[in-house]
Structure 1
Amino acid sequence: MKIGLEISRSGAETRASIEDPTVPVSQTSEFMALFGLDGVNLPHVTIDSALTVPAVSAAVAFLSRTMATLPLHAYRNTKDGAVRVSGKLQVVVHDAPNDGMDSFKFRQYFWQQVFTVGRGLAWIERTPQGVEALWPMDPNKTQIKRVGGRLQYKFGDKIYDQVDVIDVPFMLRADGVRHYGPISMAAKAIQLALAMNEYGSKLFAGGGVPPLALVGPLPVGADAMKRAMVDIGRAIDVARQNGKPIIPIPPGYELKPIGFDPEKGQMTEARTHQIQEIARIYQLPPVFLQDLSRATFTNAEQQDLHLVKHLVGQWSEAFEGELNLKLFGRFNAGRYVEHNLDGLMRGDFKSRIEGIARAVQTAQITPNEARALENRPRHANPAADELLVQGATIVLGQQPVVKPNAPNESNPVDEPKGDGEADDNEA
């Protein structure tokens, strides 16, 4: 039976009432209102409300900033290998996509939309000379539809074709047009986190006093019940304000807590579980949401590798693929855009320097290329542009070549004797 407004078969409007013997008294709005519980619902989840959950805001901020921090460059394939492109294309990709945003701000905004709304969009401004700028688009104000097999994006009063829009969805729906957003898909988990935040704030704002039941002879009538509730509530408030743990109770009555207290309800464990649930939404290792409950030195390091291999690397590939397709077309003549994931090691000086040194010693990069990675000036010595390798490294199966020692004072070379000369020992 539905409680509240009902329409009978005859069309007449009927309402459930506390006086209706066929309706449980606890289900009527009058009874719930008597205890101040009418209209109790779980909080509605929006992007703004979801971001008030610390784990959600931490995940969005961490991922968007991490993706915005990665160095992004444009390259061209040549017979001598990949060469970094200079000029306006490099400025748009690496420095400033448009006149009002640098690369970090543009990409941070772009990825914030992916990890909240579920879609990042940007319009490509072109001139006869090539790509001029990239402009962000608000996905909430963009209408996407398929016309003649091609996607069209209506933003404001303009319609853009699919070749002019960078589009990275969190997850596409079956029609290939609409998308799923992480916050909308995880609404129940976020709703529970919001409810626990609300419960905890009300509990501690009320001095840690849980909901109470007045046990004893009940007052006669709804008005008398309300007055008793007001009197008890006033007594609790006075005791809390005065710092006194004792409140007066009329003879024959007692107060008993109802529901459960946070400790028995495992509220701390439940909040930790919600952090892990939100980490699952973004496939983010929990250690990056400051959940160290199961972290050790070893598995925290493995989670760091997991972040690069199974999360940042995937989103980097999605962004690179979209940029390469939309900026250069399907037949891009060897031009491409690529992230440098080594940028994630910028904070670990020891590992970064050891990696660079090993790359120099194994002839993968020259010393001047290594200096460029650290934004240091080129060395004037021509040898700094040569590939170096350890001299002890030889081809398998070959014997090492031993060169004769050069003459010096400690190891003189015997000079040929003259006809009249003899050794000192021959005398």
Structure 2
Amino acid sequence: MWPFSRENRDKTTKIAAETRDSIENQNIPVSTENFLAYFGIQSLNLPAVTIDSALAVPSVWAAVAFLSRTLASLPLNAYRDTKDGPKKLGGKLQAVVHDAPNPEQGSFKFRQWFWQQVFTGGRGLAWIERTSQGVDSLWPMDPTKTTIQRRGGKIFYQFSDATHTIKEYPAGDVIDVPFMLWHDGLRHYGPITMGSKAIQLALAMNDYGSNFFAGGGVPPLALTGPLPAGPDAMKRAQADIKRSVDAAKNANEAVFPIPPGYELKPVGIDPAKGQMIEARRFQVEEIARIYQLPKVFLQDLIGATFSNTEQQNLMLVQHLVGQWAEAFEDELNLKIFGRSSGGGKYIEHNLDGLLRGDFVTRMAGLAQGVQNGLITPNEGRALDNRPAMENGDVLYIQGATVPLGTSAVTTTPPAKTPAKPANDNNATNDGAAAA
């Protein structure tokens, strides 16, 4: 119901259903559940993949949970460029961005839900509610109930559910972050849909492993020998063998009797010979590739060392989290401030908590830049969105740590005045005085 809150402030339009096929007027459901069926592709031999079934795979669950929580936990603030450097904004906009996007959700909850939609169905959507004073709230939009349409070269978002009529929002009022867009700029690719084959294999191995161990580790068996004729006799023989196997399992015995002249042979492939453990581990790597995650973040530490784990942590921020943070910032800045950038206003994440890198290494690098005359202290502070400080706009060079272009002043102590030699009279007088 979120996009329909405060209806008196919402511009709504009822749109009649259209069936034209021109690219200017396509109704594109954002849901990706039936994506393969759209192309006539049917998977009959593997479990069907939906968002819910895919999340039953531990590595998919770990990837979605890790990425959505990580991006939701990044500090997000609104700034203004000033002559003294970036300064945080106050007021309603900062409250919407940093504290609570709407009266029902805090910033973490809102952004976690938003990113979950991106990393499952493939698209995150949110509607911007505006008042005469500016941005009032950000409201989540369920992507499965949203249709995207292009008319007259412009994009519109239509939202509807069972209890509300269709409401339309222009692109300028919708925060839209797709996982990957189609060539038409409307539809999108979702990670679960495009990675469905790998996820299907993981689901199939989960099911096989569950059934194998649920049967006490006994694989399907075939009874060979002089089997009795007739279907009833065959059923009785099968029941006798099953009772023997169950009795051995219940008694925790490794041996169970079968009639003489008969033999039980396993049907199928031994899990060890089928390299089931290796195959399941490979599926973790495949799912990590779908999300471009270093596998250490899916709790796969095979081959991990202290050194390469640290490098994977750096790579996570540089090549994954930083890119998604940039995508979200771009949408917020464009849709909230417009192409004019709002007179120096902008919204930005602070990645220091992750890597901007490793915080100690970053601080050491900034310190070296300042001490070697490469950047001023205020330029270094601006990189972390810290306000400028007085006397922070001069370059320094390591050594005496003085402003570049000046030299230390050496103070020469005054020369000592030689003492005057004492004359005879003084000597006499001194002697008389002494006497």
| Cα distance between partner residues in 2 of 1:141 and 1:52 | 23
Q: Does 1:235 align with 2:236?
A: no
Residue 214 of structure 1 aligns to a residue in which SS?
Answer: strand
Q: Which residue of 2 aligns with 1:416?
A: 417
Within 5 Å, give how 1:387-398 maps onto structure 2: 387=392, 389=396, 390-392=398-400
| Cα distance between partner residues in 1 of 2:422 and 2:137 | 88
1:337 aligned partner, one-letter code: I
Residue 348 of structure 1, CA deviation: 6.3
Pair 146,392 (structure 1): closer, same or farther in 2 beyond 3 Å: same
Residue 81 of structure 1, CA deviation: 3.1
Q: 1:363-412 CA distances to partner (integer Å, 9 max, x unpaired)? A: 7557xx79x999xxx9xxxxx8654955535799x8x84543586xxxxx
1:160 aligned partner, one-letter code: Y
Q: Does 1:65 align with 2:69?
A: yes
Pair 415,198 (structure 1): closer, same or farther in 2 beyond 3 Å: same
1:59 aligned partner, one-letter code: A
Residue 321 of structure 2 aligns to a residue in which SS?
Answer: helix
Q: Which residue of 1 aligns with 2:428?
A: none
Q: Does 1:296 align with 2:300?
A: no
Q: CA RMSD for the aligned pairs?
A: 3.2
Residue 220 of structure 1 aligns to a residue in which SS?
Answer: coil
Q: Does 1:78 align with 2:96?
A: no
Pair 402,134 (structure 1): closer, same or farther in 2 beyond 3 Å: closer
Q: Which residue of 1 aligns with 2:270?
A: 261
1:416 aligned partner, one-letter code: T
Within 5 Å, give how 1:97-136 maps onto structure 2: 97-136=101-140
Residue 101 of structure 1 aligns to a residue in which SS?
Answer: coil
The answer to whether the Cα contact below 8 Å between 2:147 and 2:158 also exists between their aligned partners in 1 is: yes
Q: Which residue of 2 aligns with 1:93?
A: 97
Q: Which residue of 2 aligns with 1:217?
A: 226
Residue 234 of structure 1, CA deviation: 2.5
| Cα distance between partner residues in 2 of 1:169 and 1:346 | 24
Aligned residue pairs: how many? 367
TM-score by length of 2: 0.76
Q: Which residue of 1 aligns with 2:60?
A: 56
The answer to whether the Cα contact below 8 Å between 1:345 and 1:351 also exists between their aligned partners in 2 is: no
| Cα distance between partner residues in 2 of 1:340 and 1:314 | 13
Gap runs ≥5 in structure 2 = 1-43, 424-435
Pair 404,227 (structure 1): closer, same or farther in 2 beyond 3 Å: same
Q: Does 1:308 align with 2:317?
A: yes
Q: 1:327-349 CA distances to partner (integer Å, 9 max, x unpaired)? A: 11112222211111112149967
Residue 351 of structure 1, CA deviation: 5.0
Q: Which residue of 2 aligns with 1:3?
A: none
Q: 1:190-216 CA distances to partner (integer Å, 9 max, x unpaired)? A: 010011011111111111111111111
Pair 219,405 (structure 1): closer, same or farther in 2 beyond 3 Å: farther
Residue 80 of structure 1, CA deviation: 3.4
Q: 1:282-316 CA distances to partner (integer Å, 9 max, x unpaired)? A: 11111111122232333222212211111111111
Pair 155,47 (structure 1): closer, same or farther in 2 beyond 3 Å: same
Q: 1:248-290 CA distances to partner (integer Å, 9 max, x unpaired)? A: 2112101111212221111111011000000010111111111
Residue 233 of structure 1, CA deviation: 2.2
1:57 aligned partner, one-letter code: W
Gap runs ≥5 in structure 1 = 1-39, 379-383, 408-412, 423-427
Q: Which residue of 2 aligns with 1:404?
A: 410
Q: Which residue of 1 aligns with 2:25?
A: none
| Cα distance between partner residues in 2 of 1:95 and 1:292 | 36
Residue 42 of structure 1, CA deviation: 2.0
The answer to whether the Cα contact below 8 Å between 2:371 and 2:401 also exists between their aligned partners in 1 is: no
